[in-house]
Structure 1
Amino acid sequence: MTTPAAPGTAPRPYLPWLVWGTGLLAYVVAVMHRTSLGVAGVEAQERFGASASALASLAVVQLLVYAGLQVPVGVLLDRFGSRRLLVTGALVMSAGQLVLALATSTAPAVAGRLLVGVGDAMTFISLLRLVPAWFPARRVPLLTQLSGIVGQTGQVLSAVPLVLLLHGPGWTAAFASAAATGVLAAVLVLVAVRDSPVPGAAPLVRGTRDLVADLAQAWRHPGTRLGLWTHFVTQFPGTVFSLLWGFPFLVQAQGVATGTASALLTLFVVAGMATGPLVAVLVQRHPFRRSWLVLGIVGVNAGAWTVVLAWPGPAPLPLLVLLVLAMATGGPASLIGFDFARTFNPPNRLGTATGIVNVGGFAASLVTILLVGLVLDLLPGPDDLASFRVGMGVQYLVWAVGVVGVVVTRRRVRARMAAAGVVVPPVREALRRRRGPRRRRTR
Structure 2
Amino acid sequence: MSPQAKAVIFWATGVLAYVVAVFHRQSLGVAGIEAAARLDVGAAGLSTLAMLQLLVYAIMQVPVGVLVDRLGSKWMLVIGAAVMAGGELVFALADGLVPGIAGRALIGCGDAMTFISVIRLVNIHFPAHRNPLMVQLTGLIGQLGAIASAVPLIHSLHTYGWTPTFMGAAVVGVVSVLLLLTVVRDSRPERAERQPGLSAAWAEPGTRLGMWTHAATQSSAAAFLMLWGYPFLVQGQGLTPATAGVLLSTLTLCGMACGPLLGYLAGRFPLHRSRLVFTVIGTSAGTWTAVLLWPGRAPLWLLVLLVVVLAANGPGSLIGFDYARTFNPAARIGAAIGIVNGGGFIASMTLIALIGVILDLRGQATLDDFRWAFAAQYPLWALGAAQVLRYRGRTRRLVPVRQHR
* TM-score band w.r.t. shorter chain: over 0.9
Q: Is the partner of 2:298 in helix, strand or coil?
A: coil
- Displacement of 1:424 after TM fit? 5.6
Contact 1:130 1:195 in 2 (8 A): no
Could you tell me which amino acid in structure 1 is paired with residue 133 of structure 2? L
Shift of 1:133: 2.6
Which residue of 297, 318, 342 corresponds with 1:314?
A: 297
| Counterpart secondary structure, 2:118 | helix
Task: Identify the residue that residue 235 of structure 1 maps to in structure 2.
Answer: 218
1:205 is displaced (CA, Å) by 6.9
> Which residue, 82, 86, 100 being the options, matches 1:91?
82
Which residue in the other structure is 1:325 paired with? 308
Equivalent AA in structure 2 for residue 256 of structure 1: L
- Consecutive unaligned residues of structure 1, counting only runs of 5 or more, are 1-9, 428-443
Question: 2:155 & 2:267 partners in 1: Cα distance?
Answer: 41
Per the alignment, residue 246 of structure 2 pairs with 263
Which of 150, 171, 189 is residue 180 of structure 2 equivalent to? 189
Equivalent runs, 1:367-386 vs 2, <5 Å: 367-380=350-363, 382-386=364-368
Task: Please say if 1:157 is aligned against 2:139.
Answer: no
Give the aligned partner of residue 431 of structure 1.
none
SS at match of 1:36: coil
How many residues are paired up? 404
> Are the counterparts in 1 of residues 94 and 100 from structure 2 also a CA contact under 8 Å?
yes
| 1:137 equivalenced with 2:128 (yes/no) | yes
The match for 1:293 among 276, 281, 288 is 276
Candidates 106, 117, 120, aligned match of 1:115: 106
Inter-partner Cα distance in structure 2 for 1:66 and 1:423: 34
Is the alpha carbon distance of 1:197 and 1:218 closer, same or farther for their aligned partners in structure 2, counting shifts above 3 Å?
closer
2:28 aligned with 1:37, yes or no? yes
- Structure whose alpha-carbon radius of gyration is higher: 1
Identify the match of residue 258 of structure 2 among 275, 286, 292.
275
Q: For structure 1, which segment, 118-127 or 152-161, has the greater mean C-alpha deviation from structure 2 after superposition?
A: 152-161
In structure 2, the residue matched to 1:223 is 206
Cα offset, 1:13, TM superposition: 4.8
Instruction: Flag as ranges the 4+ runs of structure 1 deviating above 3 A.
Output: 203-206
How far does residue 140 in structure 1 lie from its aligned partner after superposition?
Answer: 2.2
The 1-side partners of 2:374 and 2:298 are apart by: 14
Q: Name the CA distance, whole Å, in 1 between partners of 2:187 and 2:284.
A: 40
Selected match of 1:398 from 380, 386, 402: 380
- Find the aligned partners of 1:373 and 1:298 in 2 and give their Cα distance: 22
Q: Distance in 1 between matches of 2:11 and 2:244?
A: 32
User: One-letter code of the match for 1:260?
Assistant: T
Q: Give the letter for the 2:391 counterpart.
A: T
1:16 aligns with one of 7, 29, 32: 7
Residue 343 of structure 1 aligns with which residue?
326
1:170 counterpart residue number: 161
Deviations 1:268-292 (A, max 9, x none): 1110011111111221222111111
Q: 1:256, CA displacement in angstroms? A: 0.7
Q: Report the Cα offset of residue 107 of structure 1.
A: 0.5
Q: How far off is 1:197 after superposition?
A: 5.4
User: Is this contact kept in 1: 2:192–2:330, CA < 8 A?
Assistant: no
Output the TM-score relative to the length of structure 1: 0.88
How far the C-alpha of 1:350 sits from its partner, in A, is 1.2
SS at match of 1:255: coil
> Are the aligned partners of 2:26 and 2:149 in contact in 1 as well (CA < 8 Å)?
yes
Give the superposed CA RMSD: 1.7
- State percent identity of aligned pairs: 52
Equivalent residues of 2:133, 2:267 under 8 A apart: no
Separation of aligned partners in 1, 2:151 and 2:171: 17
8 Å contact kept, 1:71–1:355: yes
The separation in 2 between residues aligned to 1:220 and 1:103, in whole angstroms, is 42
For residues 415 and 130 of structure 1, the distance between their equivalents in structure 2, rounded to whole angstroms, comes to 31
Offset at 1:137?
3.0
State the distance in 1 between where 2:127 and 2:329 align. 16
- Deviation of 1:147 after TM superposition, in Å, equals 0.6
Would you say the 8 A contact 2:69–2:331 is kept in 1? no
CA contact (8 A) 1:11 1:197 kept: no
> 1:16, CA displacement in angstroms?
2.1
Distance 1:13 1:169, change over 3 A: same
Counterpart residue type for residue 128 of structure 1: I
| Whole-angstrom CA distance in 2 between matches of 1:225 and 1:247 | 32
Equivalent-residue separation in structure 2 for 1:33 and 1:397 (angstroms):
29
